[in-house]
Structure 1
Amino acid sequence: MPAALAPEAPSTLVLDPDSDAPRLARRFLAGRFAEWGIEDDYVGRVVVCELVTNAYLHGKGQIVVRLYLDERDGRP
């Protein structure tokens, strides 16, 4: 992603494609949000869980989750 769109380096998690992946992705998201001072986001956790579950069930190989902190609008 171009630096103008994502000034911060992404926070990346690489998961093995197994049944633990969605849970680990939710924890990863919650942890990063806490570090970044963002309130717990139920919708964000549901979205990351759904995407990782789909990757686990229908994809091949490791699952990569990347989170970018975008503050262009003045808030995280």
Structure 2
Amino acid sequence: MVTKMIYSSVATPPDGVVLTNRYTLEKDSKGYFYCVGKEKIYQDIELIKELFSPIEKTWDEVLKPSSKKIASKKEEN
């Protein structure tokens, strides 16, 4: 899962986050993160949702489980 997003909160952005930049939301075994430069910033998804807005999708679409994962789990059972 990779989602492009922009900072959209009225609050002062975290260190390194620039209002005009686009960021990529990703998830790995440690959790959700976005990158500032080469540094991965891990945050709770609810906080990320408060600070950023996805581009081209809604948060519901971004966080909805993919049908491929659901199908593969059904096949395993």
TM range (shorter): under 0.3
Give the TM-score taking structure 2 as reference length. 0.26
Query: Higher relative CO (CA 8 A, sep ≥ 6), structure 1 or 2?
Result: 1
Higher strand share: 2
What TM-score do the two structures reach when normalised by structure 1?
Answer: 0.26
